[in-house]
Structure 1
Amino acid sequence: MASVPYNIHPWSHLDGNSGSPQWKKCIVCCKTGAFKLPTEFAHHLRNFHCSKEGGSYVCRYGVNEVCPSLPLEGVSDKDYEDHVARDHVYNGSDYRRGGVGLRMTQMGHGHMISPLVSGRKEPSIVEDQFRWTIYDASVNLPAVLNDPRLAKRETDFFTKTWGEAFEKKDVQPSPFLPEINGSHFERYLGKISDKYKIHAHGIEQLSKQQISDRLHSGALKSLKQLEKNRADLDQVPKIFMLPNFSLENPETFCAVFPWTQVEESKPDKNGNRQSCKLLQEKLSHYLDTVEVHIGEQISKRSEAFFHAMTSHDELQDYMQVTCRAIKQLRDKIHALEETLAKGSLKILKLTRSRTNYVKLHNKLKLISTVQQTQPTIQLLLSTNEFVGALDLISTTQEVLAQELAGIHSFRHLGSQLAELEKIIDMMLRADLVKYVTAELNRPITDLQALADETAALSVSPQEKLVAIVLGMLRQRDFEFVDVIRDEAFTALKATIKQSVIEAVATADDVDAEGIVGSLADQMRLLNYTEWMNMLKNVFHNILVIVNRVMAFHTVVREVILIAAGRTRKGADVALLQSSDETLEENKDAEDEDDGDDDDIVPSDAEPGHEPLLHVSVTPGNASDDLDVMITESEYLATVQGLKKMLCAVCDHAHDRCVKLMVARAKDGFLEKLSSNEFVALSKVIEGFVTECERKCGRRSTSLRGSLLNQANRFVDRFHDERKTKLSLILDNERWKQADVPAEFQEMVDLISKSGKMQLPEKQRIDLSKKPAEFIVVNGEKFAVVGTVLMLLKMMVEYCECVDNIPAAAQDILGRLIDLLKTFNSRTCQLVLGAGALQLVGLKTISTKNLALASRCLQLIVRYVPYIKDHFKPKLYDKKHTLKNLDQISKDYMDHIDEISNKLVAIMEGLTESYVIKWDAKAPMPSSCFRSVCKQMTKFHEVIIDVLPQHQVKVIFQRIHKSFVNLLRHQLLTLNVINDGGPQTGMVNADIVFYENNIKSLKGVEDVIEGMQSVWTNQVKS
């Protein structure tokens, strides 16, 4: 067995402080000399200075029970033993570098720590910097193969210790060695092919028996020699053959040297112990046996051994030559490095240093710039550059996070900027509220004073609004719409209250100080004129506030356009047009408003004309170069919110006005108004509502609904008054033709000229004109009674009422239809039904009475289309309501036809009474025909001046046809035939007289178609 060489004592590695071995004492327990072997010290550390946590071991050997060289999370049992041997039993550095290593070998139930001393020395970084050592190798194979702790090499040794790249290192093919393939062996194969063939042929010539005998004899000799060698070697104990044989192990030593046998043996005559000699001879025998076998093996392989030695010497020579060549190569490379490489590397180093210095300089400049961030932000905020301040904060935050990350002096700057950004948000909102409140609550003065006030401002107020809105958009804060709306609500409430207070204070007959009660109670003491003036003032002030809100709307909308990127960069963007021409127009409109109390706002006043805001974004303005701040969806939502805000302001204004109206109507004040007063009120309210609708683009229903409720009450009273008045006039109507005053003729002329139902202005009526006999409509004369003239004026009044109260158009038209029905039905009762005989004491209903009633009905029917055209644009249910008007026209025409039938029936009764008494006797013309012609002439004289000629002609055609039928029937009764006799001549003489008399009547000359038809169906005898 080969022994392990030692060049130092096994336990000579001492503690540097005390001179004794490190394992001799425990520095924690202060036990010195208590441990005889390193094993005992290792067991002590495991038992008293080690804790087991789960499956891991934690070393507690050190100050405060903390080991400075083992991880706190613990290691495995095997790693713990290595740690104890490396760091606590022996010096860790020597253990790692190969000076002294420990090997833990399992022998029975304990561990044995044995030192392995190596003569290697770690290379010097000064002396050996150009000499290759084993430490330059990628894989240290001796360290792997000679690891005493492993029975066999672990497959993951390299990857576990040094990582995957350590073991799996690709070996690049050498450029100096050729790639060996089959062609390199062709020459050798050709050289030995002949010899191989001869050899193969000789073997084939041997018989199988010879081959078998040779093999058998050789095998027998080999077997015998092997049995002999095995018998000799069996005498040697197996313990000497173990791979881990070591006399350092006490158990192995005791097994080889049995001390008990030696001690128990008695000495011989010479005093020597027999057992020691026997043991010595036995060991010598074992040694001789092994040496003999070694010698045999050497003798058998001497040739190969000497060949190997020779090859080893040659290899050593080659190695020396190679080392010298490598040394020369390294020297040359070192010279090249000195002359060529180091200068270039120095240049690269200096270049890199210069680049680093430039970067450092730039970084310092950036740090200096960042240090000026807060003062710059304060300066920007002082000039209302909120967007610039926010952009600077954002840029600084990005620089701090990217380029200046880790700068200790800026560790608090990021949080300070974040807090400053929150403060700017609060400033923006507070400034917006302050600005909007100040602008909305400015005193309402004339336009010139307002223009001077705006011109006197050092900074245009709209520029501040633009800065605030842009800042809020930059922060994605869209609540500026809500702020403007809420402040507008507050301003509306305040201005209405102030207007009422001023009206009550300036009223002559109201003692505001002596009245105890609310402001609404004081307002109810105002008379109609004072209350109307107050209402106009309220409407005017509200429209001023609405105009200011519209100015905000216009400016903010233009700012949103800029923020959304919808404007062309570099172009002038006018946020609100406010020129001198606009100022003059507004001034003229204000003057017109002051001169006319019925107008709330000038008709030509356009929204936004008040010079509240007028700013343009020029190329020099910072706002022109703004990036897109909001998305398309945010732009659309904000624009829609602005539109809703404007509508909400108008709706709120209407709601406040409704409360004002309700408070004034509590004592029935509005219901007691006269027609003219209510119409004036309706005009004022309708003008205000229309102006609000024009500004916001949407109908508001609250104020118009309140007016409609009052209008319904007014319409009820309005209709009841006129219906009662019409009934009274009809009850006293004597149905005689009345003279037409000039005002009625002016009225129908104006209607014919304008095509609208309207009353003429009083100043345009010529009161010097005398009343006319007829009323002329488009050249056609109408003989009418006085009631129809009053009804016609009432119809115009209804139409004018709907102009003043368009919201009640449906109700007003229904009441007008009811009035027309009343006139139609009452006329029928009084004339056709002969009700006038009892009411006014007429003796009879004459033909002229009937004709006048028919002509009056015709006049009303003529103006029904005008009524239809007048109401049609204002109705919401056109189909049903206009159908009622058509039914009225039909009812009137049916009534006219009934009167015509009545006239015809009257004449038929008269002619029949004469015809039945007629006889074909002399004298001629007969008295019967004379009476008939007289009645017809009289009838014609009555109706020709009342009814139109075409109607007269139709009536006479029907009377003539009836007369012919009666005469034919009478001839049949008298049995008078057309035989040319004397009776025929008498009949023809009366017929000629009748024809001549009818033809003499105006307008009915062509009614007689020939009286010879009376002889129709007559048979000659």
Structure 2
Amino acid sequence: MVCPSLALSVCVLTHLAISTLLQPPIVRTGLVPHTAAASSGYKPPNSRDIPPVTLTNIQRVNAKVFEPYLSQVGSLYDVLQQAKETNGDQEPQLARDGKTSPKQEDNEYLSQLSAERRPSTLSVNSRASSPFDPRGRRRSSARNRGHAVTPLSTIPPVYFDDDFHLENPRTFDVVSEKSEVVTPPKAPSKDGKAENGAPVGPAQTGRKALATNAILQEKLSWYMDTVEIHLISSISTASKSFFNALGSLRELHSEAADSVNRIQILRKDLQKIDREMALGGLKIVNLRRRRENVRMLADAVSQLRDVVLSVSRCEELVENGNIEQAADSLEEVEKLMAGEHTAGTPNETEQARKAIDLRQLKALEGASDDLDQLRAQIGTGYETRFLNDLLGDLRQHIDSVPSETTLQRWGSSFQRQRGVQRSGITVSPAYMAFDDQLRSRLRAHLTGLARAHHTTAAATSFKTAVLREMKSLIRKHMPSSSDDDNESMVSVSTHRSSQLSQQEKSSILARNLRAMDADDAYNMLTRVYTGISESLRRLSVQVKVLLDIASGLGSPTSVTKPPRSPISPIPDNAFGSGSRTPTTPLAQDEILQVLDMSSLLGQAVDIAQSQVNKVLKVRSEQTSHLSKKNFLKYFTLNRLFADECEAISGRSGTALKNLVGNQIRDYINRFGDKQRHRVVEVMDSDRWDARDFGEGEVTILTRILDASTKDIRAWTDASKIWQAEGKPNDETAENTTNGSGKLRSAVIDEQKYILSESAVAMMRSIEEFQFLMANIPSMIQDIAPGLLESLKLFNSRSSQLILGAGATRSAGLKNITTKHLALSSQALSFIIALVPYIREFVRRHVSTSSLMGEFDKVKRLYQEHQSGIHEKLVDIMSSRSSIHVNAMKKIDWDGSDSTTTSPYMETLTKETGTLHRVLSKHLPDMTVSMIMDPVFNSYREQWTKAFEEVTVHTDSGKQRLQRDAEYFQSKLSKINGFGDIGERLLELVKQKATKAEDKEQKPTDADKSEANNGKKSP
């Protein structure tokens, strides 16, 4: 029977069951059919009486609420779908025949349920459309075949709409077919009654009342019946699968119960076996495992004991300084902790014992720190040896190379840069020679540092030590920084010096540096500079060797080039038989990164130059007062040192060059002032007498002249500090005579110059400036203006002393004579002749048009000055001639019978002769002619006029005048430029007529007129 199973789902009917829809519409609505009309006293409600309909807000239910239900029914629904797919072609027959229908009793039960819910008031059409009789009888098959199941399409689609809501007015109108809920009243007549006198009823609007619309109710009932029939058909179709599933479920339940019984029996058997056999075997297995664990624990404890002993031994080796063995022991400890067998042949016990990794033991949590500390101590030991060997080699090299050797190397490099060919055999510098034993030791140290993972720290320490060594190298050669001048460098570190503050030490050191003389300061700087150079050169070689060793670490010696010397076997053992360890590339990278040669050398050069700059700044004042020779040595030393630093590090050393450049400018200014002061002193004390131009002056003049075309070796050798000092050149030789007492003259281009002391002093000053420019060609732009100022000063000062008669006050001269003027003119000519050579010398070193123009201006100034001197001489002689003319006019030619020459003529000829003699002695013939020609032209004008104006009345007077003219002719006729002045004067004298001659000749008026015209004509 199926009824008990269906009772849970089908038999229990409620007011929500679908079967209630099969009841008659009147019954469902609660109205009595065929209800009589309302009583006459009934008054239908109007729109005011009926309250407005409030639509109920139906709560939406979330779909998740149905998930439990859907999960239960889902399996059955799947079975239903499968049944539809397999039996789709048999579904129509379920309603016509009973071949595949459910059991008869199931159908009858379902029909009975339907009949119980439908009374006899069900419409005929409704009963006829159902395939089952309401009383449980089946209709004939022919009738069944004649009446098919009403399709669902007859139901309006609004009922199947997903958004079907009856409270929606539009939906309600469609469902109720626009029926009125309340029938509106009819319109009353004029008297308020109907035609038959009855009360007014509802108005006829064409729409049926919902309460009395039986057809609509039948339609709704019809729709429900149709849906129910389709539901019954669907349930009938799925019932077979459903009941099959229930049967299968019962079978599964029975099989599961049987399986549970069997499992219980099996468990009982297994428990019995466990108690009898398995527990004993497991106990044996556990005992064996425990024994193995105990053995492993014993081995681990033994291994741990070996670790502890090895660590203790390693610490002992480190304390004793055996860092190689300590490194080996440390590696063994690490292998023991990692569970690796150590090197060597193990005994049988160690071979049988299996090592394990102990690094995760809690007891060894701090062991890594201890091992790192031991490794750091080992690395520190290697680092100490590493630094001692390198710094010791550095210091030994500096001490073994003399300063002269370093200076010679600098000089060779300097000359090579200037294109000078080196002579002799080229010798490899000492810093290139590297000891093979030192290389072997360094290789061993680097290997140990790599094993101790201490390469970076050691390289950094070496870098710091090198930079510190640069400072100590400079400090070692400095004077004492204590008050005791006799205190040695060792005593600087004593308690007495340590009590001084750093500022006091610096102050004392600066004072001692300033107190040093020029030679001591130069020697100190030489030792400092050469030491720094050799240390930097040696350092570069050391870095190259270290990088070379680092690049070959770990490579088998049989593969690489043969070693230069036997290397200690310790590092070879550490790396096995030439195998490359993982730490080797790391060590190489660390060395390459830390020991960057360009950076290291650059920093060392910067520190060294920084310390040197401080020393040079302290002695700036003393440097500016150095002699020419000492300053050139100082400048050359600093220039070579700066070039050496730049060649080593690639850095220009701007700070040092700027400092030295400023000191050079300061020195040049002081040097120029000193030279001008010296020239002025000589000129002020000069009495402007001719002096002998000796061998020393000739040498200086020759150098000045030759410097226009070539370098003067005597000048350039002064800056070659790398050469051994020989016998000094006799540049300042005292004036020597040639034995005959004749003064020697300076010669330039076959032109002789008789010079005074001032001109020679100026020549020496010119040579000093050229000497400085030849040795410091880079500073010619600063030196040449000083030379130009000295030349201008000489010109202006000589003008003040001679033309301005300043020498009468400065040198005590009584007056300025022709000799003084001649010597001044000669000095100017001498400088004018030198200026082109000086100009060419400057142009050869620096081609600056402005400087060339300045020399041309100076030359013009000298020429103008010289022309002024010549004009001065002419003016003097003209004025003297005027005085003599006036004296001549005062003579009474007829008053005395003197037979001698007049005094004025004697004086005139004497002065003129003296002038010519002095000029001829001190000046060249051309210059003498340039001066004498204007003098004689003046004489011609003055004396011709004077002789024309003389009136002679007696013969004695005429003879006296003639004697003066003849004397003038005889004394001056031999002088170039005199011309026919004497003859003209004699002619004028002869033309003079006395009174006696006038009486004898009695010339006519015409003759007198002609005679007068002849007198007036020149």
Scaled to the shorter chain, the TM-score interval is 0.3 to 0.5
Larger radius of gyration: 2
Structure of greater relative contact order (alpha carbons < 8 Å, 6+ residues apart)? 2
TM-score normalised by L of structure 1: 0.45
